[in-house]
């Protein structure tokens, strides 16, 4: 049994496996399939200052080895979360992290301030990379200046661990990561979905009501790995890797590329027990290859010079 504990910039994880926002509900949806307390961290749905109905149906298109979504941050708002959902989450014995999104900087700040009071929420994940909303979202995360501005503002309002989720829809991920680190982020997570599109040739119409949507699943893994590797080299804060992780081997690849922890997203839809399998699989890999700790393989990619 290898040591799977990770100190993620002050946030203690019992293992480096977390669930990606928007793909694991509030965790309870998976209770029949997994022991929630075994997961390193549960990142719950994108939460905004006010209730959002999200985008109209259809919001999903299956694509080769992946899917496009255009959910558009449907959620009942932060107050509802605090009053109705948080009391149940308090009973979940692991890190529960809230993914925070907004249309304006004030939205982000106000939401983060409210969440700071919740003792059982040790961290937030700042989503500056949602491609499915008209205002804000990804716009903040695709330019170093605005990314820095929003992270700085939230930093002042939120004293606990602040993970910032980066968008892959940029030319230079390292530049954005450095800006976010400079602004006070404790860690960065990447990647959010890649902006994509699906067309129905039969009807000559877009498949999604929003025309474009966010691509996820194994088809994005090579892009995600590349960006995690570039980011890990560029910053000193821990990097949380995600994008297309379907099994333990995929997860190991992200650790080797420099991730200190990983998140599992779309794979939860295919196999609702996948988090348990990935935790067990990482442990087996470490044992089989003679590593005593997960830390031994973080960034251990061997590149010939």
Ligand X SMILES: Cc1cc2nc3c(=O)[nH]c(=O)nc-3n(C[C@H](O)[C@H](O)[C@H](O)COP(=O)(O)O)c2cc1C
- Each residue 6-25 as x (binds ligand X by CB under 6 A) or -, in order, gives --------------xxxx--
Look at residue 99 and give the partner it binds from other proteins, ligand X, none, a contact being a CB closer than 5 to 8 Å depending on partner kind.
Answer: ligand X
Q: Which of 6, 220, 240, 261 binds ligand X (CB under 6 A)?
A: 220
The site map against ligand X for 172-211 (x = CB under 6 A) is --------------------xx------------------
DSSP reduced 3-state for 13: strand
- What number of helices (H) and strands (E) belong to the chain? 10, 16
Output the smallest distance, CB 118 to other proteins, in A.
22
CB of 82 to ligand X, least distance (A): 17
- DSSP letter assigned to residue 119: T
Residue 71 touches other proteins, criterion: CB under 8 A: yes
DSSP state of 58: P
Q: Return d(Cα 30, Cα 270) in angstroms, integer.
A: 12
- Going by C-alpha positions, the residue among 56, 24, 19, 63 that lies closest to residue 41 is 19
Task: Determine phi and psi for 186, rounding to 5 degrees.
Answer: -90, -25
Q: Is 219 annotated as catalytic? A: no
Choose the contact partner of 220 out of other proteins, ligand X, none; CB within 5 to 8 A by kind. ligand X
Bridge partners of 62, per DSSP, are 67
Which of 162, 85, 160, 164 has the alpha carbon at shortest distance from 116? Answer: 160
First to last CA, the chain: 34
Interface contacts to other proteins, rule CB under 8 A: 22-25, 29-30, 32-33, 53-54, 56-60, 62-67, 69, 71, 74, 217-218, 266, 268-273
Interface contacts to ligand X, rule CB under 6 A: 20-23, 45-46, 69, 71, 73, 99, 127, 130, 165, 192-193, 216-217, 220, 242-245, 264-267
Catalytic residue list: 130
């Amino acid at each position: 049994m290898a040591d799977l504990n990770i100190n993620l910039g002050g946030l203690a994880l019992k293992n480096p496996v977390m669930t990606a926002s928007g793909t694991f509900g509030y965790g309870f949806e998976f209770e029949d399939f997994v022991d929630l307390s075994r997961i390193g961290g549960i990142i719950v749905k994108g939460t905004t200052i006010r209730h959002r109905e999200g985008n109209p149906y259809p919001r999903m298109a299956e694509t080769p080895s992946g899917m496009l979504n255009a959910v558009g941050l449907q959620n009942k708002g932060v107050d509802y979360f605090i009053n109705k959902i948080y009391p149940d989450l308090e009973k979940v014995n692991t890190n529960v992290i809230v993914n925070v999104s907004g249309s304006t900087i004030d939205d982000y700040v106000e939401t983060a301030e409210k969440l700071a009071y919740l003792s059982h929420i040790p961290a937030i994940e700042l989503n500056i990379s949602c491609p499915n909303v008209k205002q804000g979202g990804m716009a903040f995360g695709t330019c170093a200046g605005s990314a820095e501005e929003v992270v700085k503002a939230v930093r002042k309002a939120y004293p606990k661990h602040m993970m910032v989720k980066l968008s892959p829809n940029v030319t230079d991920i390292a530049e954005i990561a450095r800006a976010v680190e400079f602004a006070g982020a404790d860690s960065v997570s990447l990647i959010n979905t890649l902006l994509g599109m699906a067309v129905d040739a039969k009807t000559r119409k877009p498949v999604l009501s929003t025309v474009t949507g966010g691509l996820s699943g194994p088809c994005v893994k090579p892009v995600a790995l590349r960006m995690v590797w570039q980011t890990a080299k560029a910053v000193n804060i821990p990097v949380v890797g995600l994008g297309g992780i379907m099994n333990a081997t995929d997860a190991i690849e992200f650790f080797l590329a420099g991730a200190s922890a990983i998140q599992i997203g779309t794979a939860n839809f295919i196999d609702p027990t996948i988090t348990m399998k990935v935790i067990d699989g990482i442990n087996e890999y470490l044992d089989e290859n003679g590593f005593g700790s997960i830390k031994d393989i973080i960034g251990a990619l061997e590149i010939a010079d």
